Chain A
Amino acid sequence: MKALLDSGEVKLDGIIGPGHVSVIIGSHPYEFIPQDYGVACVISGFEPLDILLCIDKLVEQIEKGEPKVEIAYPRGVKPEGNRKAWQLTEKVFEIGEANWRGIGIVPQSGLKVRGKYERFDADKAFSVTLKPPREPKGCRCGDVIRGAATPLECQLFKKVCTPESPAGPCMVSSEGACAAYYQYGTLENSQGN
């Protein structure tokens, strides 16, 4: 999130924070977003009403000019998160760099298995060398993930790239932006037969 905000590529008014991640980590790790960047941040649940509530809170913060971190999913997320789960995570993993599609390698943005548990680390347990990932030609998942393009701006969307035959990750997971655009498109903009 910091890398996205630092790039300044997309001017964000507010951020809808992730529900399940926040069940574990709580809301405190997002405090830098309003503090350092002046951007509103509200953690949302998954049902339609959860998301509406989240957007309502974001709009309110933006109108008042008072960005802060709020939880619009209180039945799932507590400010302190789930300490036990987080302690277990910290026991097994340490923070390290990670490669993000469309962004590149970001230091301190991923989790890797600690040395003590490296026998469970697939990277170390199997001697497989993977070729560097190759972006399918024309796939704009990277732009979509950064918010620099909508799925409709991708030439592959719904033509070559469908949930049955996805070109990029945004179409693979039901949570991907492209899959959502595909699944919940309007009648005019709907998937053909």
Chain B
Amino acid sequence: MDDSILLAHGSGGKLSHELVEKKFLPFLANPALNKLDDSAIFEASGRMAFTIDSHVVDPIFFPGGDIGKLAVCGTVNDLSMNGAKPLYLSLSAIIEEGFLLSELERIVQSIKKAAEEAEISIIAGDTKVVNRGQADKLFITTSGVGIVPPGVDISGANARAGDKVLLSGTIGDHGIAVMSQREGLRFSMTLESDCAPLNKLVSQLLEISSRIHCLRDPTRGGLATTLNELARQSKVGIVIEEAKIPVKEEVKAACELLGLDPIYVANEGKLVAIVDPADADKILARMRKNSYGRDAAIIGEVTNEHQGKVVMKTKLGPSRIVDMLSGELLPRIC
């Protein structure tokens, strides 16, 4: 086998088989996948959750993760945000001709590690190779199924006035880590992406409270966009306090330099929980016991006023409306 991906790896012939058998199966092996049938068969009963997520991150390797880890965590987290216990993923890789096999192997190993941590199996997969220039190195799409435990009803439409808004940790880490890597911005510190599977954190929270109303991971568009989505979906207002939002010093400094607001910067290992006020402290304490929720905080609450809008009390005192992200995140010019 050559050291980079050839169009023949996507032909369906010998090289395609070799690619799957040498680069994917040894790492992702499980009974359903090993059969190499056209579809995977698994047992399931009860309410299921089903989701899909595509990953096209540039660069594919960044401090704290890579596209493989991201592809597993993204789908695991999407399932978790509806209270589902993720079980199985399918994974499709679109690979650009010329992509290094050694890099592919690193990414598959990272997929394996993330899958092990999240305790899920990848039971179906597909690879395609496209001509040079028709894809940027590697795109990965994952879909996943999970089982929703009886009685769990978590939805972006469930927030009620009086509920508390919890955030599981510092914001902006992923977006700034990736942006610094992509644009070659060198800061004296290396900030790592927070990319992580959150299913265990969620199941720990569900064990101690049946009054979690909404969960959502503030990925693209950041915390501000997620809170706006929840306010609109639940037809409520949300008030947050800027001073209570945890932001790492490094992220603050990078954002100040670039003219970005951390509340719009992407995260890949954080969640927002909107919960009944009676359980808020208990849930916060449980979050903080998990390493992915160590810096968790109660950042605000839900109100009947200004429906569909998010208002932030700023550090200087006055309140301002926080809208969804509009367009692209761009550094300031003047």
Contact = CB atoms under 8 A, between A and B. Distances in A.
Interface string B308-334: 110100111001110100110010111
A18 interface: yes
Interface residues of B, number: 20
A18 B334 contact: yes
A187 interface: yes
Interface string A17-49: 011110000000000000000000000001111
Contact of B309 (A173, A174, A190): A190
A46 B259 contact: yes
SS of A interface (majority) = loop
A31 B195 CA distance: 50
**How extensive is the interface on chain A, given as a class?**
20 to 34
Contacts of B316: 48-49, 52
A142 interface: no
Contacts of B256: 46-47
Chain B binding surface SS class: loop
Contacts of A183: 321, 323, 326
Contacts of B327: 163-164
A48 B313 CA distance: 13
B306 interface: yes
Given A187-B311, A193-B308, A175 B321 contact: no
B309 A163 contact: no
A185 B332 CA distance: 20
Nearest to A46: B259
A163 B321 contact: no
A21 B332 CA distance: 11
A100 interface: no
Interface of B: 232, 256, 259, 306, 308-309, 311, 314-316, 319-321, 323, 326-327, 330, 332-334
What are the nearest 10 A-B pairs in CB distance? A163-B326, A18-B334, A190-B321, A193-B308, A184-B320, A48-B316, A175-B332, A20-B334, A175-B334, A164-B326
